[in-house]
Amino acid sequence: AQARLAHAQRMEALGQLAGGVAHDFNNVLQAVRSGAALIRRRAADADVVRHLARMVTDATARGSAVTQRLLAFSRRSELRAEPLDAVRLLESTQEILSHTLGAGVEIRVETACDLAPLLADKGQLETVLVNLATNARDAMNGAGTLTLKAQSEVLARGMKLDHPVNLEFGSYVRLSVSDTGCGMDAETLVRASEPFFTTKEPGKGTGLGLAMARGFAEQSGGGLHIGSEPGRGTTVALWLPVANVDAVVGIAPALGDAPSRA
Ligand code: ADP
């Protein structure tokens, strides 16, 4: 029953993904098509043609952005997990972000001592953290406090969690990105990690950031949890397994093999 449920969820995610791609691509093609038609009609007016050509270039750039992210999304089986030191990882992420987020965002790092190494693909994890931080900056309109945090979490049988991260029992490192931004209303929170769900203006958001973060966490043998309060801020937490021999052997190689969610 568990496997069937996981399969059904996978098919649903794929269906959403395909629907979203079709929708986004249709918009891009529509723009290219009407641009080209107008260029044909207005060929005599150089200024108009230049303007239309720019519109076509912009539309195709949006198209490639979608395919790039889609490629990254489908390249799930190529994760190369290795033991990582969360403290060093967050410090190097802070360094990257200090150059990219702008002066208005204060970046804090809080790490527990004695953290066990976690098991994940370093490059992909950094990409996910930078994406989460970019969302945080957007939510804060470029000014506020962003906190990167690492702590250890142990899930034991019979334990009650105060939120629904449906994971297998074991040891995890929880990496979180918190902001003091606008937060999400209930409907946005429920849909936030759906592929292609975005509340941003066309061309500004692809709606794949959180979907990719969730896919990455689940395929790494962990999970993702989003907590948010409108007007106060958002915390996105990645739960990643602690690197030990069992975890290395048991790491899920395919989309459907990640621990299932209820
Ligand atoms: P995108 O950023 O391209 O819209 P995401 O999947 O990263 O795609 O996010 C989906 C939506 O979730 C965003 O459009 C936004 O409404 C909401 N969201 C994501 N991160 C945050 C955050 N830190 N604070 C408030 N809302 C957020």
The reported pLDDT for the residue numbered 250 is 46
25, 30, 164, 258 from 20: Cα distances, Å: 8, 15, 27, 23
* pLDDT tens profile 122-137: 988 998 999 999 999 9
**pLDDT surpassing 70 at residue 73:** no
Q: How far is Cα 129 from Cα 209, in angstroms, rounded to an integer?
A: 10
Distance 206 CA to ligand 1 centre (A): 9
Q: Which atom of ligand 1 is nearest to the CA of 192?
A: 12
Q: Which atom of ligand 1 is nearest to the CA of 207?
A: 8
Distance 231 CA to ligand 1 centre (A): 14
Reported confidence tier of residue 5, pLDDT bands at 50, 70, 90: low
**pLDDT surpassing 60 at residue 201:** yes
Distance 89 CA to ligand 1 centre (A): 23
Distance 135 CA to ligand 1 centre (A): 6
Distance 52 CA to ligand 1 centre (A): 31
Closest protein CA for atom 3 of ligand 1 = 205
Residue with tokens 């150089």: 46
Q: How far is Cα 142 from Cα 107, in angstroms, rounded to an integer?
A: 12
* pLDDT tens profile 222-252: 999 999 999 999 999 999 999 975 544 444 4
Reported confidence tier of residue 12, pLDDT bands at 50, 70, 90: low
Distance 186 CA to ligand 1 centre (A): 13
Q: How far is Cα 31 from Cα 153, in angstroms, rounded to an integer?
A: 49
3-state SS class at 235: strand
Q: Which residue has the higher pLDDT, 114 or 148?
A: 148
The reported pLDDT for the residue numbered 57 is 86
Reported confidence tier of residue 80, pLDDT bands at 50, 70, 90: confident
Q: Average pLDDT over the chain, rounded to whole?
A: 83
**pLDDT surpassing 50 at residue 190:** yes
Reported confidence tier of residue 262, pLDDT bands at 50, 70, 90: very low
- Best residue among 198, 214, 235 to mutate for probing ligand 1's pocket (most ligand atoms within 8 Å of CB) is 198
The reported pTM is: 0.72
Q: Which residues line ligand 1 at a C-beta cut-off of 6 Å?
A: 135-136, 139, 179, 181-184, 188, 192, 197-200, 205-211, 234
Q: Which atom of ligand 1 is nearest to the CA of 208?
A: 6
Q: Under 8 Å CB-to-CB from 234, ≥6 apart: which residues?
A: 135, 136, 139, 178, 179, 181, 183, 184, 226, 227, 228
The reported pLDDT for the residue numbered 68 is 67
Q: Tell me: ipTM over 0.95.
A: yes
Distance 198 CA to ligand 1 centre (A): 6
Closest protein CA for atom 16 of ligand 1 = 199
The reported pLDDT for the residue numbered 261 is 41
- Best residue among 210, 216, 225 to mutate for probing ligand 1's pocket (most ligand atoms within 8 Å of CB) is 210
Structural tokens at position 191: 């849909």
The reported pLDDT for the residue numbered 75 is 58
Q: Which residue has the higher pLDDT, 160 or 96?
A: 96
Distance 76 CA to ligand 1 centre (A): 21
**pLDDT surpassing 70 at residue 94:** yes
Q: How far is Cα 155 from Cα 186, in angstroms, rounded to an integer?
A: 27
